[in-house]
Structure 1
Amino acid sequence: MAVRPSILGIDGPEPLARSLRDAQYIADEGLSTAAYLALALGKPLLLEGAPGVGKTEAAKAIASVLGRELIRLQCYEGIDAAAAMYEWNFPRQMLAIRQAGEGYVNLYADDYLIARPLLLALQEPRARVLLIDEIDRADPEFEAFLLEFLSDFSISIPERGTIRAAEPPVVLLTSNRTRELHEALRRRCVYHWIGYPDPALEAQIVMMRASSVAQETAHRVTAAVNRLRAEPLAKPPGVAETVEWAEAATLLHNQGAAWPAAFARAIGVALKDQDDLAFTAPRLDQLITGAA
């Protein structure tokens, strides 16, 4: 496989990690290496992990480092090719026909074409990064369609012909692993699993993302979050919830709430499921103070 000429001006995983940190994202060695290889080899990067570990944020940070616009295709059950590729603006076409009367109108001009994420990524591959978010939520049939798209990076529009990218666009895929992805799709990508960060790293993330939070508070909240994640919760708090919990508790503390009561009062920022709140309520003070 031919190595793609540098699109970063960065010659390795370590410089990429430093650039990602400048973009407010802390990447460990595994992620920075996988991202660098995907970019250098011109292959899609597949990021899997539990909800809230920072997969989508990683895509945003990579786009920022590249200086490119992020185009996001949010997958969902029932999504079809039209929602991902393009569609014709039928109301505008009908209006143009009425206004033209007996005159000629080109109903398949650019004015009537609504480009969706996949087409946008092909039109300007050097200006955009394509994020296919939560691909595991899509149906297997749509996954098969995406596999074909990633094979040749082209879209056929019957009225216009085939649009093919001059070079492979930068593509990232994320999955929460609610179902297994097809093996053929995995083989096409550089793969990386993103787990929850260890408490020390997560405290660094809190400090980076929430400048109003004191260092001691960041360590307290990350320790408490790790205890919560060890519980059998339906929806364990992700990294974003850790940051928000630290911010919320700090806000309450600045308004007069004592520690650790400020953490307990702000628990609805970290846990967002009624059963989880009910399950942890009898031992919440212990979980918080034990982690302090």
Structure 2
Amino acid sequence: MTGVTGAVDGIQSGISQSASGAARLAANGSTIASGAQALADGNAQLASGASELASGLQQGADRLSGTETPGADAASVAAEPVGLEVSTENAVGQLGQVIGTYFVPLGLWVGALAIFLVLPRLSRRVLASTAGSGRVLGSEAVRAGGVAALQALLLVLLLHLVAGVSWALLPATLGLSLVAALAFTAFHQLLTVGLGRAGLVISLLLLGVQVAAVGGIVPSQALAGPFAWISSVSPLGWASTGLQQIVAGGSVGVGVGSAFALAAFGAVSLLASRLVIRRARRASVLRMLLPATA
């Protein structure tokens, strides 16, 4: 009996332990189920966040590309991401007009040089005469200025006929060209009165410097700094700039300023020529008196 009782007690103890283990297993299963549910909720939140991130990135890309909805506009933006609009003020329709505004002043300068190659130099007889210095200077200036004015007229007519410049601009182009022609003539008169034929060599040297500096075919901005400065202070540069502004319909102030600069240049040249003639006449009188007193 004692053995039977012990066996029964062992069975009961085993059953009790099995029940306790089953209860623990059930509790652990509930914990696992709860963790699985939390994991599923986290995955759902992660998917929602990823969707919102993708949507935000798409909106940002649309704003950067300049279109809110992808389509034909987005394709055009992708094909040409940078747009450029070019507007030209005071456009010149023909290349010949640009070249003409450069070669007209150049022709006037060479023409003034040629005039004083042909005209005889003031003789000692003229310098020793009783005529005033202004009259002596004026007689030569009138002859040279008449030829220079005719040259200016012919060059301006070629500018309008060949280059196709509007005839409505004829008063402005002719006026500026006449001022430039007379100014260049006055300057070459100063060179010949003061230096004789050697003054014409100085004219050629100045012409070479100005041709290199004036922005005709090549813009002056593309040249070195000293050349740009020379262009801004040279008579050939003033004449070329003034004609360019007239032909292109540019700044009226720049064109008028160029004309005034050329007029002032010519006036200063005439004044200097008169002073040189006065000094030369005094020297000529002294040379004539010295042998007589000796």
Q: Normalising by the residue count of structure 1, what TM-score does the alignment of the two structures yield? A: 0.20
TM-score by length of 2: 0.20
Greater helix percent: which structure?
Answer: 2
